[in-house]
């Protein structure tokens, strides 16, 4: 019996190893190309052009009218999304699909003005979702004409998060280019006057308090504990050492940065609370919130022991691999997710109001202060936000005229609070994945997938097939 | 009996006088406002703003949720369209509608850079349909929030010609802003690789040869006659005098300009061959082609008598009022139609290929030569055309995902060759007006309207009512 136990333990270890190998080392196969794009698709005042990167795989494609699976790249290096969108790779063979991942302008290597792209507004100003979608229109139109056998191919857009927003909007704005869209965890309602700003933080908190109310309370109490400990030099030194910080804490600004880091860590954990080890924002174990919360057990501790608990939890996030020498609060997530570009987008078109009250959520209270937000944006980028731009452009909640979109939302995912959670029409549907985190359905299939995501993917495939059948029928006469 | 004849003649004269008064002097009543617009709605590189003019009439509006009838201004001073879109004014009372006419940027007084607007590409480059539609989005959104009782108003877009294209595209791109569109004589298919370039000229010709084949032949023979007569100084002087030209003919360039003028006159006559006197492009009698052709009867005449015939026909166009002292070949139509702006649009996004062969049409043979066209555009504006931009943006023939659009086309109108002449779906329909010229249905009702346009307007009203009912139902709970 103890031998059997050892065997089981060994087997479990081997299984874990294989799982890790599969999900950390999984590499999908694609070729890299560039397509020359206009910097401005909507006007003629600026004649500049640049090269947009895209990845392509035709291993599964039938070469004769088979569909094109098109990932609408979002805020990061496109290889990150190619590596984390296993669903497209999983189903490409059965659909005989051509797989394309297009990089979003101003991310990865698709920088319209190279290293100067973020140096002045004249260069940065063309970073908008409208321009990005127009890039995709031009790219797809070109590819359909340039690739033999692709002329009549159905195009299905895929995207997760902001990429899901793009996929949905792509179908809404350019239905002649994209015949249907899988919009996973796409918070198209996370805008001013649509979704209450406190909903997001409440859901992050719920993900932790569901593990244990104590866990959430540790985090809720941590803010005051940090303030109390870091009131003097000795405390700053203590926390630097206790949390293995790469850079010593010195100024009040450092404390603000530390807290911002924590806000992002707890939020990221809620986003990637996947049922198996994964490496999307960071390498993490299965159900990372459960693992984190296993360390956050005593909310009534004094500040120092409380912060020591918190550090045990943080370690799960920043050092699951054991390779991190220190905690770098400037490294919130995979470096392929480019915060610089997103900061500009959030400061211009993608103004998403968030607020916290510390009661219904475990964050430090922070109202949504648009005025000060706008000032910061102006100081940083020389531009004032247009908080209603996206709603005016894309319609906000009024998407009743759209067709052929599947919105999917995991209820663990805080972004689901800004998602479309109702069926809009027969062809614009919403799939709820109660056990799902951020775009779980777009990830590759996994033995530990909950039934709800397996079911969601089946329904997504049915819709995709319908779009293909509908579009192909045009050319079947 | 001769007394009775005199009476009838007097009565006819009085009727004519009243008709003229009604249709030349009709003035609709509106107030003029301006709304501050961003020069660039799609990017953040250019922070400039300008004032867009719009006209508004609330005489018929119920002030409480009644619909907004919104004219999507096209290439001209908006007052021209307000004065020539009687249909909106005619039906506003029964719908209790708020009537709005918005001026297209770069036309009328809505010049983003004032007198400099056409001086360099940096200023002119924002003259595109996409930017114009975004102006309308911002204007309507603002008005719905600013006007008490308009918050839940259904918005119906109206437009004729390029304005009709805008109305249709407005509904396609911004269905959350516009609940339906009346797109009259909207040649959304008049683009490269969609509609054969010769169709337009063939239909112009058919309008004349239907009156009499001889009439069309006079025009067909006029080009060679002009060449033959103007070979020497004496001939140039003769034609200058015979045609009462304001500026004497001197150079070959003058001959080219004269011929261009003629091409435009015959084309314009085909466009405005209305069944009653009207003043859209020029003051004209009822069925002006019939009147013109009554003078063009001898196609086999020698050059000079042939050109004298032609001049009799031209007189109908340029001097129906009898007020013109001379024929100004630089004044093709109502000066409120601004050719300068349209020339830029035609050179950039609205590239519409036309060609003539002189056999199936009565024009001088002229192939569609994109290369030379593009060169001319570059010389004039410093920009190369994007012939596929509009098709990529709006879908060309593939508008199957659209909803709530009524396309109307008169079969006398040469632009109908680039129009949508089939029912796309239950809610995207095409109405054919066999006796109709260019957007006849958008004109005010007239005792001489053919039954087909009366019928078309009734169907348009039914669709408008459906859109209102459908949208209002959202707020009826």
Supply the ipTM of this predicted assembly: 0.91
Q: Å from A128 to nearest chain B CA?
A: 6
Which stretches does DSSP call E strand in A104-236?
Answer: 155-160, 180-184
Q: Which residues of B touch A395 (CB under 8 A)?
A: 174-177
A161, A184, A222, A452: the catalytic one is A161
Q: Are B271 and B438 in contact (CB under 8 A)?
A: yes
**What would the two tokens of residue B224 be?**
């060679």
**What would the two tokens of residue B208 be?**
């004349």
**What would the two tokens of residue B347 be?**
């050179």
- Give A441's contacts (C-beta < 8 A, 6+ positions apart): A87, A184, A408, A410, A431, A433, A453, A456, A457, A460
Please tell me which residue of chain B has the smallest CA distance to A42.
B130
Q: Are B49 and A50 in contact (CB under 8 A)?
A: no
Which stretches does DSSP call E strand in B224-349?
Answer: 278-279, 283-284
**What would the two tokens of residue A342 be?**
């997103």
Q: Which residues of A touch B399 (CB under 8 A)?
A: 176
Q: Å from B156 to nearest chain A CA?
A: 15
Q: How far apart are CA A28 and CA B138, in angstroms?
A: 44
Task: Give the other-Cβ count within 10 Å of A349's Cβ.
Answer: 22
- Residue B67 DSSP one-character state: -
pLDDT of residue B331: 82
Q: Which of A18-22, B143-147, B157-161 has the lowest mean pLDDT?
A: A18-22
Low-confidence ranges of chain A (pLDDT < 50): 1, 24-25
- Give A400's contacts (C-beta < 8 A, 6+ positions apart): A424, A425, B175
Q: Give the pLDDT band (50/70/90) at residue B25.
A: very low
Q: Which residues of A touch B388 (CB under 8 A)?
A: 141
Q: Quick: pLDDT tens for B223-241.
A: 999 999 999 999 999 999 9
- CB contact under 8 Å between B42 and A138, yes or no, is no
Partner-chain residue, chosen from B43, B47, B141, that has the shortest CB–CB distance to A40: B43
pLDDT of residue A340: 86
pLDDT at B365 over 60: yes
Q: Quick: pLDDT tens for B290-331.
A: 999 999 999 999 999 999 999 999 999 999 999 999 999 988
Q: Quick: pLDDT tens for B406-436.
A: 999 999 999 999 999 999 999 999 999 999 9
Active site residues of B: 161, 413, 438
Which whole number is the average pLDDT over B167-195? 98
- φ/ψ of residue B425, rounded to 5: -160, -170
Mutation target for B interface from A35, A44, A393, A394: give the one with most B CBs within 10 A. Answer: A44
Q: Are A452 and A433 in contact (CB under 8 A)?
A: yes
Which whole number is the average pLDDT over B433-450? 97
How large a percentage of chain B has pLDDT more than 90? Answer: 90
Q: How far apart are CA B431 and CA B420, in angstroms?
A: 9
Q: Which residues of B touch A123 (CB under 8 A)?
A: 45
Q: Are A383 and A348 in contact (CB under 8 A)?
A: yes
Residue of A95, A93, A73 lying closest to A85 (CA atoms)? A73
Q: How far apart are CA A245 and CA A311, in angstroms?
A: 11
- CB contact under 8 Å between A44 and B403, yes or no, is no
Q: Å from B126 to nearest chain A CA?
A: 5
Q: How far apart are CA B316 and CA B437, in angstroms?
A: 18
pLDDT of residue B14: 63
- φ/ψ of residue A120, rounded to 5: -150, 155
A123-143 burial, b for 16+ CB within 10 Å, e for fewer? bbbbbbbbbbbbbbbbbbbeb
Please tell me which residue of chain A has the smallest CA distance to B401.
A175
Write down the residue that tokens 């996206």 correspond to. A390
pLDDT of residue A17: 59
Q: Quick: pLDDT tens for B85-109.
A: 999 999 999 999 999 999 999 999 9
- Give B451's contacts (C-beta < 8 A, 6+ positions apart): none
Which whole number is the average pLDDT over B18-45? 81
**Which run of H or of E encompasses B85?**
none
Q: Which residues of B touch A124 (CB under 8 A)?
A: 44-45
Of the CA atoms within 13 Å of residue B450, those in its CB half-sphere come to: 19
Mutation target for B interface from A37, A43, A141, A174: give the one with most B CBs within 10 A. Answer: A43
**Which run of H or of E encompasses B408?**
strand B405-410
* Beta pairing class for B405-410 and B428-433: parallel
- CB contact under 8 Å between A173 and B173, yes or no, is yes
């Amino acid at each position: 019996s103890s031998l059997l136990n050892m065997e089981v333990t060994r087997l479990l270890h081997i299984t874990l190893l294989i799982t890790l190998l599969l999900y950390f080392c999984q590499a999908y196969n694609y070729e890299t190309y560039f397509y020359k794009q206009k910097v401005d698709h909507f006007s003629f005042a600026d004649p500049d052009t640049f090269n947009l990167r895209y990845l392509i795989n035709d291993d599964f494609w039938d070469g004769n009218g088979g569909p094109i699976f098109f990932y609408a790249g979002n805020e990061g290096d496109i290889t990150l999304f190619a590596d984390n969108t296993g669903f497209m790779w999983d189903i490409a063979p059965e659909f005989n699909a051509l797989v394309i991942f297009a990089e979003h302008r101003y991310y990865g290597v698709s920088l319209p003005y190279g290293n100067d792209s973020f140096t002045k507004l004249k260069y940065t100003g063309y970073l908008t979702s409208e321009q990005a979608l127009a890039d995709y229109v031009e790219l797809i139109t070109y590819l359909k004409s340039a690739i033999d056998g692709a002329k009549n191919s159905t195009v299905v857009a895929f995207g997760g998060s902001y990429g899901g927003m793009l996929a949905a909007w792509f179908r809404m704005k350019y239905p002649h280019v994209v015949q249907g869209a899988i919009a996973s965890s796409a918070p198209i309602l996370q805008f001013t006057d649509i979704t209450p700003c406190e909903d997001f933080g409440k859901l992050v908190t719920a993900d932790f308090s569901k593990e244990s109310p104590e866990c959430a309370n540790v985090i809720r109490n941590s803010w005051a504990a940090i303030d109390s400990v870091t009131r003097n030099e000795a405390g700053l030194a203590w926390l630097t050492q206790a949390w293995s910080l790469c850079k010593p804490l010195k100024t009040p600004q450092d404390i603000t940065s530390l807290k911002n880091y924590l806000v992002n860590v707890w939020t990221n954990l809620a986003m990637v609370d996947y049922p198996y080890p994964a490496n999307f924002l960071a390498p993490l174990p299965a159900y990372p919130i459960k693992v984190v919360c296993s360390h956050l057990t005593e909310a009534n501790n004094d500040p120092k022991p409380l912060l020591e608990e918190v550090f045990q939890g943080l370690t799960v996030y920043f050092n699951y691999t054991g390779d991190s020498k220190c905690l770098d609060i400037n490294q919130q997530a995979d470096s392929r997710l480019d915060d610089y570009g997103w900061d500009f987008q959030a400061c211009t078109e993608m103004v998403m109001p968030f607020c916290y009250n510390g009661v219904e959520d475990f964050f430090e209270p922070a109202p949504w202060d648009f005025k000060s937000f706008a000032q910061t944006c102006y100081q940083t980028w020389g531009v004032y936000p247009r908080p209603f731009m996206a709603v005016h452009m894309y319609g906000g909640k009024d998407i009743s005229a759209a067709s052929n979109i599947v919105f999917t939302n995991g209820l663990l995912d805080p972004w689901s609070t800004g998602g479309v959670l109702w069926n809009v029409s027969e062809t614009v549907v919403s799939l709820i994945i109660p056990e799902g985190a951020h775009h779980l359905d777009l990830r590759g299939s996994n033995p530990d997938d909950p039934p709800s995501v397996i079911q969601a993917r089946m329904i997504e495939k049915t819709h995709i097939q319908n779009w293909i059948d509908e579009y192909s029928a045009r050319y079947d006469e």
